[in-house]
Amino acid sequence: MVTKIDTNDRLDKTLNYNEKKVQHGTAELIYSNGFLKDTDRLSFDDKFERFQRQNELRPTSHVNTLHAKVSFDPSEKLSNETLSQIAQKYMEGIGFGDQPFLVYRHNDTNVPHMHIVSTMITREGKRIRDYKIGEKLSDPTREAIEKEFGLVRARDHAQEVDYKMSAVDLEKVAHGEEPTKKAIQTRLKTILEEYNVTSLAELNAVLRGYNIQADPGEPGSRKRQHRGLTYKVQDDKGLTAGIPIKASDLSFKLTLDGLEETFKKNRISRKENVEDLRNRVSNVLHQQPKSLEDLASQLKNGNIDVVIWSNEAGKPYGVTFVDHENKIAVKGSEMGREFSAKAILTTVSANTAGQSQQQSPQQQQQAQPGPSPMDKQMEDARRAPKLPDRWTAPHPSRGVRPDALEIPPDHNRKSPHLLGDLLKSRSQPDGLPPELSQDKKKKKRKKRSL
C-alpha cells in the first residue's frame, strides 16, 4: 500500500479532476463522509458547496484542500466495501475522521487505487496542520492498515521500487493538476526503465496511454533538421495542452541521441517477448474478429493495447502493439507481414465478408434493416384504397348520374373554381379603376341613345 498526500488551494480543480473521471467511466464515487444525502444522490453542487461552506469558516487560509491518493499492489483485488473501510481508517489516522470527505475509486490503470478529497478547515473554523503529516501520521497509519487487512507492504524491499513507480508514476497526466515538467519526467523515466521500445513510434505508443507525446518536429522543419525533441501533454482528444518541454530541460536529458542509444540496447534483449506477443496476437486473429474495434477489445482482455496510426485523411498506415505483461511495444510489421496495418485491415474485411456469405438467405434477410417509418408510410399510402372522386363519381345514394356533372377544365379539388378566379386578371387595359371604367361605359351609352 502506497500513500501520497497533496494539499492545495484548488478545491474546484481537485474536485473536477475526479468528477471528470467519473463522467468518462474511469472512476466511481464509492463513499462519502459528512454529507446529508446518500452517496449515490450527491450532485456536483452538493459536493462543492459542502466543502466551500467549511472553507469559508477560515477565509484567511489559502491552503485548505486535501487530495490523498492510496494505491495497492496489482495482485490485490479489493472490493468497494473494503476500500471504503480502508479510507475511513486512513482518514481517522491522519486526523480527518470528522471532516467531510469523498472517496473515488479509479480504474484507469492496472494498479488499483483511490483518491480522497477533503477540506482542511474544521467545523470550528480551525485549520488542520499538515506539517510532516506524511512522516508523523500517514506512514504509521498505512503500516497499521497493511497489517490489519493483510495488504502488501510498501516497505518490502523486493517490490518497493517497482511497485512504487507503477502505483504513483504510471497514471494519465491531467494538465493543471501537477507541474507539467515533473509530470512528464516521472512517467517518462519509469516507462523507459520498465518498457522495451526500439523506436520513437513505439515509445509514443506507450506514452499515449498517459497523455504524453515525444515530438521530433515535422519532416523538413528546423527542429527535425537539428535533431531536436520536445515532450508535450495532450488531452483525451489528442490536442496539446500546455507548453511543450524540451528534452534537454529534463533532469536526465533524454534527447534523441540518448533515446537512440537505449533503442539499440533494447533490440538485443527483446526476441523472446516479441515471439510471445506474436503468438498471442495470432491466436486472437484466428478467432476472426469482425472489425478493428473487435480486435482491440479481444486483445485488451489479454492486457495488450492496439495503437493505430492514421494520416490526416484518417487512413491507417501503421499499427503498434503494447504488451503490458511483457512490458514491450512492437511495431506490427516487425512481427511479420501478416501483422502490418494493411494485412490486418484486409483480414478483418475478409472475416466480415466471409460471415455474410456463410449466412443462410433467411439469416441474411433477418440481418437486413427493416424499412424506415417514412418508407412504411409511403407503402401504406400506395396500398390504401382509392377514394371516389366527388366530381366524376358521385355517391350512388344521391341519385345523380355520373354524366350529370360538367367538370371545369381548370378545377381544383378543394375549390374547383378558386384557382381559376385568382389567376384571372382584374386590371383594365387603360389602367383605370373599375369604378371609373363603369362611369365611362355609361357615358358612351348615353351618347349612343342621343
Give DSSP secondary structure letters for 367-389.
HSPPPPHHHHHHHHHHHSPPPPP
Other CB atoms closer than 10 Å to residue 193's CB: what's the count?
Answer: 13
The confidence score (pLDDT) of residue 325 equals 80
- Pick out the chain residues at pLDDT < 50: 157-169, 367-369, 372-431, 440, 450
Residue 389 lies in a domain: no
Question: Do 19 and 136 belong to one domain?
Answer: yes
pTM comes to 0.47
Q: How many separate domains does the chain show?
A: 3
**Domain presence at residue 404:** no
DSSP annotation of 407 reads P
- 308 shares a domain with 230: no
The secondary structure of residue 137, as a DSSP letter, is: I
Question: Quick check: 66 and 51 in contact, CB under 8 A?
Answer: no
* Torsional class of 329: left (φ above 0), alpha (ψ -120 to 50), beta (otherwise): beta
What residues have CB less than 8 Å from 243, skipping those under 6 apart? 180, 232
Side-chain-facing half-sphere of 215: CA atoms under 13 Å: 21
Name the residue among 107, 66, 48 with its Cα closest to residue 83: 107
As a whole number of angstroms, the distance between CA 241 and CA 339 comes to: 33
- Are 254 and 247 in contact, with CB atoms under 8 Å apart? yes
Asked if 64 and 128 sit in the same domain, the reply is: yes
User: Considering 246, 268, 290, which residue would you say is the last residue of a domain?
Assistant: 268
C-alpha cell at 92: 481517522
Q: Which three cell numbers stand for residue 339?
A: 501483422
Q: 283 and 260 in one domain?
A: no
- Residue 337 inside a domain? The answer is yes
Provide the CATH number for the domain around residue 105.
3.30.930.30
Out of 358, 392, 409, pick the residue that ends a domain.
Answer: 358
14 and 144 share one domain: yes
* Sign of the four-CA dihedral 11, 171, 188, 138: positive
- Using left for φ > 0, alpha for ψ between -120 and 50, and beta otherwise, residue 25 falls in left
Return the H-helix or E-strand segment holding 317: strand 316-323
Residue 167 lies in a domain: no
Residue 299 lies in a domain: yes
Q: Which residues of 158-167 are buried (b: 16+ CB within 10 A; e: fewer)?
A: eeeeebebbb
User: How many alpha carbons fall within 13 Å on the CB side of residue 3?
Assistant: 25
Q: Do 354 and 306 belong to one domain?
A: yes
For residues 262 and 291, state if they share a domain.
Answer: no
How many Å apart are CA 252 and CA 8, to the nearest integer? 28
Residues 108, 244, single domain; the answer is: no
Domain hosting 39: range is 2-159
Q: CA-CA distance, 300 to 295, in Å (whole number)?
A: 9
What does the angle CA 269 – CA 188 – CA 18 come to, to the nearest 5 degrees?
A: 130
Domain check: are 17 and 96 in the same one?
A: yes
Place of cell 512504487: 164
* DSSP symbols for 139-206: HHHHHHHHHHHTPPPTT-HHHHHHHHIIIIISS---BTTB-HHHHHHHHHHHHHHH-B--SHHHHHHH
∠ CA 235-6-39, nearest 5°, is 80
Of the candidates 293, 279, 334, 331, the residue with the CA atom closest to the CA atom of residue 309: 331
What distance in Å separates the CA atoms of residue 350 and residue 343, rounded to the nearest whole number? 10
Say if residue 16 is in the same domain as residue 147.
yes
Tell me if 140 is assigned to some domain: yes
Q: What is residue 156's predicted lDDT score, i.e. its pLDDT?
A: 59
For residues 215 and 152, state if they share a domain.
no
Q: Are residues 234 and 314 in the same domain?
A: no
Cα torsion 359, 361, 366, 368 to 10°: value is 90
Residue 242 lies in a domain: yes
Positive or negative: CA dihedral 123, 128, 134, 140:
negative
C-alpha distances out from residue 167 to 1, 2, 14, 391, Å: 9, 7, 19, 86
How many CB atoms are located within 10 Å of the residue 197 CB? 27
> What's the burial of 273, exposed, middle or buried (CB within 10 Å: 0-12/13-18/19+)?
middle
Residue 307 counted as domain residue = yes
Angle between helices 256-268 and 200-207 (to 10 degrees): 90
User: Looking at 338, 358, 378, which one is the last position of a domain?
Assistant: 358
Compute the distance between CA of residue 249 and CA of residue 74 in angstroms, rounded to an integer: 33
